[in-house]
Amino acid sequence: MDIQPETPWDGTPDVSSRIVTAIGRIGGVLRSGVWAFATAEGLNPAQVEILQLLYRRSRGVRLTWLARQLSISSASASDSVASLVSKGLLRKARDSEDARATALFLTDAGAALAGRAGAALGFADDAAAALPEATQLALLTGLFRLIAGLQQTQRFPELRACLSCRFFEPDRYPGQPTPHHCALVDAPLPLKFLRIDCAEHEPADADSERRNWRIFT
Ligand code: SF4
Protein backbone atom coordinates (compact mmCIF):
# COMPACT_ATOMS: atom_id res chain seq x y z
CA MET A 1 0.00 0.00 0.00
CA ASP A 2 1.29 3.45 -0.91
CA ILE A 3 2.24 5.68 2.03
CA GLN A 4 0.20 8.88 1.79
CA PRO A 5 1.90 12.20 2.70
CA GLU A 6 0.40 13.95 5.71
CA THR A 7 -0.16 17.17 3.76
CA PRO A 8 -0.30 17.88 0.02
CA TRP A 9 2.96 19.91 0.37
CA ASP A 10 5.14 17.32 2.10
CA GLY A 11 7.26 16.80 -1.02
CA THR A 12 8.01 20.51 -1.53
CA PRO A 13 11.77 21.23 -1.31
CA ASP A 14 12.90 23.68 1.38
CA VAL A 15 12.80 27.39 0.60
CA SER A 16 16.63 27.43 0.62
CA SER A 17 16.71 24.64 -1.93
CA ARG A 18 14.22 26.43 -4.18
CA ILE A 19 16.25 29.66 -3.92
CA VAL A 20 19.32 27.80 -5.18
CA THR A 21 17.26 26.15 -7.95
CA ALA A 22 15.83 29.52 -9.02
CA ILE A 23 19.28 31.16 -9.10
CA GLY A 24 20.60 28.20 -11.10
CA ARG A 25 17.76 28.50 -13.62
CA ILE A 26 18.31 32.25 -13.99
CA GLY A 27 22.05 31.57 -14.46
CA GLY A 28 21.17 29.04 -17.16
CA VAL A 29 19.02 31.58 -19.02
CA LEU A 30 21.83 34.16 -18.85
CA ARG A 31 24.38 31.58 -20.02
CA SER A 32 22.22 30.69 -23.00
CA GLY A 33 21.96 34.42 -23.83
CA VAL A 34 25.77 34.66 -23.72
CA TRP A 35 26.02 31.51 -25.81
CA ALA A 36 23.71 32.89 -28.53
CA PHE A 37 25.61 36.18 -28.62
CA ALA A 38 29.01 34.43 -28.70
CA THR A 39 27.95 32.14 -31.55
CA ALA A 40 26.70 35.11 -33.60
CA GLU A 41 30.06 36.85 -33.08
CA GLY A 42 32.20 33.79 -33.90
CA LEU A 43 33.44 33.47 -30.30
CA ASN A 44 32.93 30.95 -27.53
CA PRO A 45 31.11 31.85 -24.26
CA ALA A 46 34.33 31.95 -22.21
CA GLN A 47 35.78 34.51 -24.62
CA VAL A 48 32.69 36.70 -24.27
CA GLU A 49 32.91 36.42 -20.47
CA ILE A 50 36.56 37.51 -20.60
CA LEU A 51 35.59 40.60 -22.61
CA GLN A 52 32.82 41.37 -20.10
CA LEU A 53 35.18 40.94 -17.14
CA LEU A 54 37.56 43.47 -18.66
CA TYR A 55 34.85 45.94 -19.68
CA ARG A 56 35.31 49.45 -18.20
CA ARG A 57 38.41 48.31 -16.31
CA SER A 58 41.18 50.88 -16.53
CA ARG A 59 43.83 48.58 -15.03
CA GLY A 60 44.88 45.41 -16.80
CA VAL A 61 44.36 41.95 -15.31
CA ARG A 62 46.55 38.86 -15.13
CA LEU A 63 45.73 35.58 -16.79
CA THR A 64 45.54 33.78 -13.42
CA TRP A 65 42.91 36.27 -12.22
CA LEU A 66 40.80 35.62 -15.31
CA ALA A 67 41.08 31.85 -14.81
CA ARG A 68 39.92 32.21 -11.18
CA GLN A 69 36.96 34.41 -12.15
CA LEU A 70 35.82 31.93 -14.78
CA SER A 71 36.61 28.85 -12.66
CA ILE A 72 38.66 27.39 -15.53
CA SER A 73 42.28 26.23 -15.74
CA SER A 74 45.05 28.70 -16.62
CA ALA A 75 45.69 26.67 -19.78
CA SER A 76 42.07 27.10 -20.96
CA ALA A 77 42.14 30.80 -20.10
CA SER A 78 45.41 31.13 -22.01
CA ASP A 79 43.87 29.56 -25.15
CA SER A 80 40.87 31.92 -25.00
CA VAL A 81 43.12 34.94 -24.44
CA ALA A 82 45.42 33.98 -27.34
CA SER A 83 42.40 33.75 -29.64
CA LEU A 84 41.04 37.15 -28.49
CA VAL A 85 44.47 38.76 -28.99
CA SER A 86 44.68 37.31 -32.53
CA LYS A 87 41.20 38.74 -33.28
CA GLY A 88 42.32 42.21 -32.14
CA LEU A 89 39.91 42.26 -29.16
CA LEU A 90 42.53 42.05 -26.38
CA ARG A 91 46.06 43.40 -26.06
CA LYS A 92 48.90 42.52 -23.73
CA ALA A 93 51.03 45.14 -21.97
CA ARG A 94 53.26 45.43 -18.92
CA ASP A 95 51.44 45.22 -15.60
CA SER A 96 51.64 48.65 -13.92
CA GLU A 97 52.12 46.94 -10.53
CA ASP A 98 54.87 44.53 -11.63
CA ALA A 99 57.03 45.38 -14.65
CA ARG A 100 58.01 41.71 -15.05
CA ALA A 101 54.37 40.62 -15.41
CA THR A 102 51.97 40.88 -18.35
CA ALA A 103 48.51 42.39 -18.02
CA LEU A 104 45.56 42.11 -20.40
CA PHE A 105 43.50 45.05 -21.65
CA LEU A 106 40.56 45.42 -24.01
CA THR A 107 41.23 47.06 -27.36
CA ASP A 108 38.65 49.56 -28.64
CA ALA A 109 37.10 46.79 -30.74
CA GLY A 110 37.02 44.51 -27.66
CA ALA A 111 35.34 47.21 -25.57
CA ALA A 112 32.71 47.77 -28.27
CA LEU A 113 32.00 44.04 -28.43
CA ALA A 114 31.79 43.78 -24.63
CA GLY A 115 29.27 46.65 -24.64
CA ARG A 116 27.16 44.82 -27.23
CA ALA A 117 27.32 41.64 -25.13
CA GLY A 118 25.87 43.58 -22.18
CA ALA A 119 23.08 44.91 -24.39
CA ALA A 120 22.31 41.36 -25.59
CA LEU A 121 21.52 40.42 -21.97
CA GLY A 122 19.30 43.49 -21.58
CA PHE A 123 16.23 41.22 -21.41
CA ALA A 124 17.26 40.17 -17.89
CA ASP A 125 17.90 43.74 -16.83
CA ASP A 126 14.45 44.73 -18.17
CA ALA A 127 12.79 41.97 -16.13
CA ALA A 128 14.58 43.09 -12.93
CA ALA A 129 13.81 46.76 -13.64
CA ALA A 130 10.10 45.94 -13.97
CA LEU A 131 9.95 44.81 -10.31
CA PRO A 132 8.72 47.36 -7.74
CA GLU A 133 11.62 49.37 -6.31
CA ALA A 134 11.16 47.90 -2.80
CA THR A 135 11.31 44.37 -4.25
CA GLN A 136 14.49 45.23 -6.19
CA LEU A 137 16.12 46.53 -3.02
CA ALA A 138 15.02 43.52 -0.94
CA LEU A 139 16.33 41.19 -3.65
CA LEU A 140 19.65 43.04 -3.86
CA THR A 141 20.04 42.91 -0.07
CA GLY A 142 19.23 39.20 -0.04
CA LEU A 143 21.76 38.53 -2.79
CA PHE A 144 24.45 40.48 -0.90
CA ARG A 145 23.67 38.31 2.13
CA LEU A 146 23.93 35.16 0.07
CA ILE A 147 27.23 36.30 -1.47
CA ALA A 148 28.51 37.16 2.02
CA GLY A 149 27.69 33.61 3.13
CA LEU A 150 29.34 32.11 0.06
CA GLN A 151 32.46 34.22 0.62
CA GLN A 152 32.97 32.30 3.84
CA THR A 153 33.16 29.05 1.86
CA GLN A 154 36.12 30.44 -0.14
CA ARG A 155 34.24 29.40 -3.29
CA PHE A 156 33.27 32.84 -4.51
CA PRO A 157 35.69 34.58 -6.90
CA GLU A 158 37.00 38.00 -5.99
CA LEU A 159 34.54 40.84 -6.80
CA ARG A 160 35.12 44.51 -7.50
CA ALA A 161 32.37 45.23 -4.95
CA CYS A 162 32.13 48.08 -2.44
CA LEU A 163 32.42 45.55 0.38
CA SER A 164 35.87 44.46 -0.83
CA CYS A 165 37.07 47.99 -1.67
CA ARG A 166 39.62 49.97 0.30
CA PHE A 167 37.55 53.13 -0.19
CA PHE A 168 34.51 51.65 1.56
CA GLU A 169 34.00 53.01 5.08
CA PRO A 170 31.30 51.00 6.89
CA ASP A 171 29.22 52.71 9.55
CA ARG A 172 30.92 56.07 9.13
CA TYR A 173 27.55 57.60 10.14
CA PRO A 174 26.23 55.19 12.82
CA GLY A 175 22.46 55.16 13.29
CA GLN A 176 21.85 57.19 10.13
CA PRO A 177 19.66 55.88 7.28
CA THR A 178 22.79 55.96 5.09
CA PRO A 179 25.55 54.77 7.44
CA HIS A 180 28.27 53.87 4.90
CA HIS A 181 30.68 56.10 2.95
CA CYS A 182 32.81 55.97 -0.21
CA ALA A 183 36.13 57.73 0.47
CA LEU A 184 36.96 57.92 -3.23
CA VAL A 185 34.12 60.31 -4.04
CA ASP A 186 33.86 61.42 -0.38
CA ALA A 187 30.12 60.83 -0.16
CA PRO A 188 27.64 58.72 1.83
CA LEU A 189 26.90 55.44 0.10
CA PRO A 190 23.25 54.30 0.30
CA LEU A 191 22.50 50.59 0.11
CA LYS A 192 20.85 51.06 -3.27
CA PHE A 193 24.16 52.35 -4.68
CA LEU A 194 26.43 49.62 -3.27
CA ARG A 195 28.25 48.22 -6.28
CA ILE A 196 29.05 44.65 -7.22
CA ASP A 197 31.42 45.62 -10.04
CA CYS A 198 32.95 49.10 -9.76
CA ALA A 199 35.57 50.37 -12.22
CA GLU A 200 37.27 52.45 -9.49
CA HIS A 201 37.47 49.55 -7.04
CA GLU A 202 40.78 48.99 -5.26
CA PRO A 203 41.14 45.90 -3.07
CA ALA A 204 40.83 46.28 0.71
CA ASP A 205 43.07 44.28 3.02
CA ALA A 206 41.69 40.86 3.97
CA ASP A 207 40.62 41.87 7.51
CA SER A 208 38.67 44.90 6.32
CA GLU A 209 37.00 42.87 3.61
CA ARG A 210 35.90 40.17 6.10
CA ARG A 211 34.57 42.88 8.45
CA ASN A 212 32.67 44.57 5.61
CA TRP A 213 30.97 41.41 4.39
CA ARG A 214 29.87 40.69 7.97
CA ILE A 215 27.49 43.65 7.59
CA PHE A 216 25.33 41.32 5.53
CA THR A 217 25.62 38.12 7.53
S1 SF4 B 1 31.77 53.03 -5.16
FE2 SF4 B 1 33.60 52.05 -6.07
S3 SF4 B 1 35.30 53.23 -5.19
FE4 SF4 B 1 33.52 53.66 -3.88
S5 SF4 B 1 33.57 52.13 -2.23
FE6 SF4 B 1 32.31 51.28 -3.87
S7 SF4 B 1 33.74 50.04 -5.09
FE8 SF4 B 1 34.99 51.45 -3.87
In order of start, what are the domains of the chain with their CATH numbers?
Answer: 22-130 (1.10.10.10), 132-217 (no CATH)
Q: Is the CB of 167 under 6 A from ligand 1?
A: yes
Kindly give the residue spans of alpha helices, DSSP state H, lying in the chain: 15-40, 45-54, 63-70, 74-86, 108-120, 122-129, 133-151, 206-213
Provide the residue count of the chain.
217
pLDDT in tens, 92-141: 998 877 778 889 999 999 999 999 998 988 999 999 999 999 999 999 99
**Band of pLDDT at residue 3, cut at 50, 70 and 90:** low
Residue 184 CB less than 6 A away from ligand 1: yes
Judge whether residue 179 has pLDDT over 80: yes
**5-19, 78-92, 114-128: lowest mean pLDDT where?**
5-19
**Parallel, antiparallel, or unpaired for β 181-182 and 98-106?**
unpaired
| Binding site membership of 182 for ligand 1 (Cβ less than 6 Å) | yes
Q: Is 7 exposed, middle or buried (0-12, 13-18, 19+ CB in 10 A)?
A: exposed
Burial class (CB in 10 A: 0-12, 13-18, 19+), 178: middle
Tell me if 195 CB under 6 Å of ligand 1. yes
Give residue 155's pLDDT: 78
Q: pLDDT digits over 135-162, tens only?
A: 999 999 999 889 888 887 877 888 889 9
What is the 95 CA–ligand 1 centroid distance (Å)? 22
Amino acid present at 56: R
Average pLDDT, the chain: 90
Q: Half-sphere exposure (CA, 13 Å, Cβ side) for 201? A: 21
Average pLDDT value for residue range 174-190: 92
For range 44-65, the mean pLDDT = 90
pLDDT grade for 15, boundaries at 50, 70 and 90: very high
Rounded Cα–Cα distance for residues 85 and 70 (Å): 18
Rounded Cα–Cα distance for residues 217 and 144 (Å):
9
Percent of the chain with pLDDT over 70: 97
Closest atom of ligand 1 to 199 CA is 2
Q: Is the pLDDT assigned to residue 20 strictly greater than 90?
A: yes
Assign 1 a pLDDT band (cuts: 50, 70, 90).
low
Q: Which residue has the least CA distance to atom 6 on ligand 1?
A: 162
Residues 90, 169: Cα–Cα separation, whole Å: 34
CB 103 within 8 A of CB 60: yes
CA atoms of 19 and 25, how far apart (whole Å): 10
